[in-house]
Every structure is written in C-alpha cells, then in structure tokens.
C-alpha cells in the first residue's frame, strides 16, 4: 500500500472512491462515480491536504495510518470547504486533536458554521507560505473558483499544485490514481461536464486564477476530483479550463427541445437535417425529457450555436425546457448564437417566452423564430430550414 500511494517523493495519495452516490450535489448524474481526493505530505512533520466526504472516513483513516502509523499530523491544509472535501474535518480533529488547521479568513467561519470545530489556526493570505522541514508550501487565494474561500497550495519543493476543485472531473480513479497508470480517455468529456455544471458560472474568477498561477513551474496537478495529472496532460488540463472559462467554443449547434407528442420533435429533426446539409458537422440533438440537463449544458459550453424548441404547456414553456433555460442563465454563458422555435394547439406562448429568454441571455439572435400550430406543414418545414440555414451561415463564417 505504501509504495502504491506515492505520487512523488514523500507525497502520497489518500483519496477515496464513491461508486454509490447517484447524483453529485443531488443534481448531476455520476454514471462513472466520483473520487474525493486527499493528499499526505510525509515530511519530518506531516501535513494533510484536504479531507474526504465523511461517509468514507473509515477507509480514509486506514489509508493515512498505513503511511504514517501512529505519528501525529501537524497541519491540515484546507483548500476548499465544500462538504465532499471538508466533511471529515471534525473526525480528523478527534483522531489528531493537536492538528493545526491551515486556511484563509473565509475558511474558518465556514469550519465553525459547518462543524463547530475550533483549535489552533494558521491563517494565510495570498502568497503566504508554510515551511515544512523539506517542503515549502505557498498559498494562492482563488475566490469563487467556485466558492469564496477557495485557495490553492503550491509545493515549491516538488512542483506540485494542490488545486482544490479546479482541474477536477467526474469519475472514480480505477486501479491507479496517476494519469500515467490508467487510461484517461473517459475523463476528458467528464471534465467538460464537471466544469460546465459545477464551475461554469465563474469564468472570470477562473481566468484570474489561471493568470495568477501561470508562471508557476507546475509538474503535477493534484485536484480534489479525478486523476493526478502529470507530464503532457498538465498543459491539456489547463487548456480545457482556460478555454471553457473564456467561453470559447467549437463550430457546432446544439438543438435542444421538448415535445409531448412528437410534433415539436419533427421541427427539431428538420432543423438538424438542414444544419447538416449546410455543412455543420457538429450537430447534437437533445430531448430535454430524456437527456439529463448536465449533458446538454456541457454541449452548450462545447458548441457555438444553440437552437431551442418548446411546445406551449399550460400557457407557458414546457417545464423541462423552462428548467434548462434557468440553468443556462445561471451560468452566465457568453458568446453563443441563439435560434428558437415552438408549437401550440390553440393558444401560442412558447415562442414568446423563448424570446424573453433570448433577451435575458444576451446571446446573439440568429434567424427568424418559427412557430407551428398543431403539426408540421410545408410552410413550417420551410421556415425551420430557413432558421437552420441562418444558423449555419453564422456558425460557419467564424
């Protein structure tokens, strides 16, 4: 166990996997599970970086003790207070009563509020350091990536960045935790989905954090979720977060729709078919009732164009469409092109409501909205194709 836990030098991985929780934050599906990562610096005095979700504490404590035995832990560095990472603080304090908690001013109010834990503190500001006998740890405050207390810790001795939730992704770490020991293919899409749903609103703070950390000689990224990143993957991981936080996107269109009886779905299929005919290779269709919104949001972050359709439902938008629009607005996504379409039986409201969303979103409107009464006709098909052509023209000229 001891040798297998080593990341670099005397730095160890002591994180745990969660293959049971179905929804992250009770919202986002975890088909591949999730890891809660914690790290141990086995210097002459021991420092622990972040903890894990409290239900996994027994496994977590065994991992720690397999490395340090009955030696004490001098410091607990708390980069992020979300309970999936701070949940074991109270129990760690019980097992190691003399441990010194390391965090910033925002951290300690949350510790008392969540866990009622007090004791000796080491309060750090931006750029402050903590010297262990063989490691120098420097702290960088990164507020709103994605909570106000978040910070990152850089081990200047080993070139290791403990990045909190930044650079994280969904998915357990199976067998090995190092990117060099596992096939990482499945993590890249899950990194985009993780960013889009968890961090997506905070593009500007992420950009500020990347600028602050840009000059550091990072050789290893130790996030709180997903693999430990090394080598060429360092630039790739940072690149993913950089691009997403700038709201940069590929040429492509997401067609997201709700449909009760298939009529609005026919409009979506017509639009998608014409987009393809016009040369848009990346066309993704999502039925909001069957695709979890976390995947739709990830694709909206991924592609430049968005066309949304909804039937009128009780004089309003279809409920799942309305929920998706709320989620889009809450992420403050920028730089997208938007088209919309809707249907009704006897009194139309969907297209009007989608227009209200368009004004709030500040996306660039493209083409003319299409409104269909009852079912598809040649007239409706023509206007759906015109909307698709307008979007294709806009997307392909950039």
Mind listing the pLDDT tens digit for each residue in 279-327?
999 999 999 999 999 999 999 999 999 999 999 999 999 999 999 999 9
Q: How far apart are the first and last CA of the chain?
A: 53
- Cα–Cα distance for residue pair 85/353, rounded to 1 Å: 40
8 Å CB contact between 149 and 104: yes
- Cα–Cα distance for residue pair 369/136, rounded to 1 Å: 59
The b/e string for 204-241 (b: 16+ C-beta within 10 A; e otherwise) is ebbebbbeebeeeebebbbbbbbbbbbeebbeebbebb
- Cα–Cα distance for residue pair 279/174, rounded to 1 Å: 40
Q: Where are the domains of the chain?
A: 3-245, 250-396
pLDDT score for 348: 83
pLDDT per position in the chain (398 positions), as tens?
Answer: 466 899 999 999 999 999 999 999 999 999 999 999 999 999 999 999 999 999 999 999 999 999 999 999 999 999 999 999 999 999 999 999 999 999 999 999 999 999 999 889 999 999 999 999 999 999 999 999 999 999 999 999 999 999 999 999 999 999 999 999 999 999 999 999 999 999 999 999 999 999 999 999 999 999 999 999 999 999 999 999 999 999 999 999 999 999 999 999 999 999 999 999 999 999 999 999 999 999 999 999 999 999 999 999 999 999 999 999 999 999 999 999 999 999 999 888 999 999 999 999 989 999 999 999 999 999 999 999 999 999 999 999 86
* CATH number of the domain located at residue range(s) 3-245 in this protein: 3.60.15.10
Length of the chain: 398
* CATH number of the domain located at residue range(s) 250-396 in this protein: 3.40.50.360
The residue among 327, 283, 288 whose CA lies nearest residue 305 is 283
């Amino acid at each position: 166990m001891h040798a297998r836990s080593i990341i670099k030098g005397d730095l160890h991985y002591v994180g745990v996997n969660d293959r049971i929780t179905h929804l992250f934050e009770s919202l986002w599906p975890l088909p591949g599970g999730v890891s809660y990562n914690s790290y141990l610096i086995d210097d002459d005095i021991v420092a622990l970086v972040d903890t894990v979700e409290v239900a996994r504490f027994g496994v977590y404590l065994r991992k720690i003790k397999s490395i340090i035995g009955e030696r004490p832990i001098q410091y607990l560095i708390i980069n992020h207070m979300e309970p999936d990472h701070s949940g074991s603080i109270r129990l760690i304090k019980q097992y190691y009563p003399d441990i010194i908690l390391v965090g910033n001013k925002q951290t300690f109010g949350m510790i008392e509020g969540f866990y009622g834990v007090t004791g000796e503190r080491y309060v750090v500001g931006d750029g402050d350091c903590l010297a262990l006998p063989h490691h120098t740890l420097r702290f960088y405050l990164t507020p709103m990536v994605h909570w106000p207390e978040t910070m990152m810790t850089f081990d200047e001795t080993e070139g290791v960045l403990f990045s909190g939730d930044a650079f994280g992704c969904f998915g357990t770490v199976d067998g090995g935790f190092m990117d060099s020991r596992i096939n990482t293919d499945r993590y890249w899409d899950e990194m985009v989905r993780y960013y889009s749903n968890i961090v997506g609103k905070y593009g500007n703070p992420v950009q500020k954090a990347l600028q602050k950390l840009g000059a550091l000689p990072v050789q290893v990224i130790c996030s709180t979720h997903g693999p430990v990143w090394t080598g060429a993957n360092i630039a790739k991981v940072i690149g993913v977060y950089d691009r997403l936080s700038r709201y940069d996107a590929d040429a492509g269109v997401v067609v997201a729709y709700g449909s009760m009886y298939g009529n609005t779905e026919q409009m979506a299929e017509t639009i998608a078919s014409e987009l393809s005919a016009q040369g848009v290779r990346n066309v993704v269709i999502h039925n909001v009732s069957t695709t979890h919104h976390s995947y739709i949001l990830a694709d909206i972050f991924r592609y430049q164009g968005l066309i949304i359709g909804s039937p009128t439902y009780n004089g309003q938008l279809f409920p799942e469409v309305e929920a998706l629009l709320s989620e889009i607005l809450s992420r403050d996504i920028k730089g997208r092109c938007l088209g919309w379409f809707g249907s009704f039986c006897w009194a139309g409201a969907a297209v009007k409501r989608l227009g209200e969303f368009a004004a709030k979103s500040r996306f660039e409107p493209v083409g003319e909205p299409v409104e269909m009464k009852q079912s598809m006709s040649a007239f409706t098909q023509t206007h759906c194709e015109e909307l698709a052509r307008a979007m294709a023209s806009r997307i392909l000229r950039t």
